[in-house]
Structure 1
Amino acid sequence: MARGYPPYQFLDAMGEPAGLDIEVAGLVFARMGVECRMVPGDWDDVVASLRLGRLDCVCGMEINRDREHFFAFTTPYYSRKVVIFVRRDGAGLGTVEDLVGKAVAGDRHSFAEHYLKQRGLLNAIRIVRTKSKEQSMRMLKDGKVVAVIAPLAVGQLLAKRQGVPVRVIDVGDPGSPVGFAVETGNDVLLEKLEKAIEELKREGALQPVLDRWLH
């Protein structure tokens, strides 16, 4: 799991794993009848650890073609919309073209990054990799970046917590599907995860979790 991505994945005031994905993972592994140990880390480190076989799976990973080269995914259990946040008082920042030549905090392989690439703008923008969205929002607050690429719910929550007045540049993300990721070839674990997720969906056990965290 990643740190600093509320309401999806984060460490609470006691330093314990919390969030939508963590609660879903708890239900899934309880249904499978196995204990799980959450390993929190910076997102890039989490992804690298899965590729290197140091983790069995990652919960709450957005599914896209780039990642499907390395990982196998379960059926999605919800979707996340990615947008670009700028300060509400940021003059002259109304479109993605206005970000050219400026520093933007972002993730690898996000919908927004693909959008910028398609528009021929990605190499003209300085993408700054951060350890968490909490750090990204602090950098926006401190003026170290002019924008933050983040899931809508994450950015809204962090901006409110940190007292950053923000507005959104919409990049047309219809919502990226989210599921559990395992190493390609780990079909046994994938099938067990898939079976548990489908049973929980069928019983209506997942929707209350989504509603509680997202609304």
Structure 2
Amino acid sequence: MPVIFKLLIAALFACLSLAANGEKLRIVTEPWAPYVYDDHGRMAGLDYETTVIVFQRLGVEVQWQFLPWKRCLAMLDQGHADGALDIFHSHDRDALLLYPGEPLSDVEFVLFYANERAHPAETLDDLRGLTVGVSPGYLYGDAFSESNAFEREPAPSHEANFGKLMLGRIDMVVTDRRVGQHVIKALGLEGKVSQASVLVSRQPQFLAVRRGAGMDLLVQRFAAELKRFKQEPAYAALSAKYGGMHPQTAPISASRRAVEQQESSAP
């Protein structure tokens, strides 16, 4: 029997096992707009909608739950959740989680600053002496996490971080580029916040599941179907819908920076 056929049969049995027991795959995630978020009582977002389509094609039902990110990780550790949406790969989690070979999307962590208190930042060394707003449980890359040049101050939400930024309680906020633009628009901060040119890190994010019977094969099927969907016009439309860069938060060029004497921060 061909290997691919064996994989398909085994994955099918894994899906049927869930259905036979009346179970749904329990997926936890934190609101992370525009990748996944609550849009007036309806779940939405680039990675959420992509995942829903892929699981529908695989015949897998999913139960979704929004939680703070540290609680999501605890749910996985305790076996109260089957998987997490938009999680970075960490070798520390390899014994617990399985990651598809195809990521859902790529995150670009950048820094945002309040225009009234600009902090030119082209490298992480330029953050020396500053306080940067972060989100608990997030992985920003070794260079950022291990630097002693600046302080990190956590906040319970991305909105809270930007609120502290506008109040002058922190100097910068580190977050994903698209997430930062979404929060800025939602809070009406266009023209008041800008993005620094420094790229903190770029990381792929995944739909990861706990290790268990049939899960490795389910992950393989998910990766194959996800890769196939990404080649379709429907995915291009989703990406365009959620991926635009607002001109008022785009990084300032070197020549314009010399004139305006500005720059900085995000989660």
TM tier, smaller: 0.7 to 0.9
Change (3 A) 1:67 1:139: farther
Residue 33 of structure 1 corresponds to 59
Matched positions, count? 209
**d(CA) in 2 for partners of 1:140 and 1:35?**
40
Contact 1:83–1:168, Cα closer than 8 Å, also in 2: yes
1:182 counterpart letter in structure 2: V
2:142 counterpart letter in structure 1: H
Change (3 A) 1:101 1:199: same
The answer as to 2:171 corresponding to 1:146 is yes
Paired residues for 1:102-181 under 5 Å: 102-107=130-135, 108-111=137-140, 113-117=141-145, 121=147, 123-164=148-189, 165-172=192-199, 175-181=202-208
Deviations 1:138-162 (A, max 9, x none): 2212222221110001111211222
Alignment root-mean-square deviation, CA:
2.6
Q: CA deviation at 1:169?
A: 2.5
The answer as to 2:241 corresponding to 1:212 is yes
SS at match of 1:144: coil
Change (3 A) 1:166 1:200: same
Change (3 A) 1:68 1:101: farther
Q: CA deviation at 1:124?
A: 4.3
SS at match of 1:38: strand
Q: CA deviation at 1:109?
A: 4.9
1:53 counterpart letter in structure 2: G
1:114 counterpart letter in structure 2: D
Deviations 1:66-103 (A, max 9, x none): 65565321111321211011111214x21233533443
Deviations 1:23-55 (A, max 9, x none): 112101101112111110112211222233221
The structure that has the greater radius of gyration is 2
1:22 counterpart letter in structure 2: Y
Change (3 A) 1:203 1:20: closer
Q: CA deviation at 1:58?
A: 1.4
Change (3 A) 1:94 1:19: same
Gaps of 5+ in 1: none
Question: Which one of 35, 47, 57 corresponds to residue 8 of structure 1?
Answer: 35
Residue 77 of structure 1 corresponds to 104
**d(CA) in 2 for partners of 1:69 and 1:135?**
33
SS at match of 1:89: helix
Change (3 A) 1:204 1:60: farther
Q: CA deviation at 1:163?
A: 3.0
Change (3 A) 1:183 1:11: same
Question: Which one of 87, 91, 97 corresponds to residue 125 of structure 2?
Answer: 97
2:53 counterpart letter in structure 1: L
Change (3 A) 1:174 1:125: closer
Contact 1:3–1:11, Cα closer than 8 Å, also in 2: no
Contact 1:5–1:134, Cα closer than 8 Å, also in 2: no
Work out the percentage of aligned pairs sharing the same amino acid: 25
2:97 counterpart letter in structure 1: F
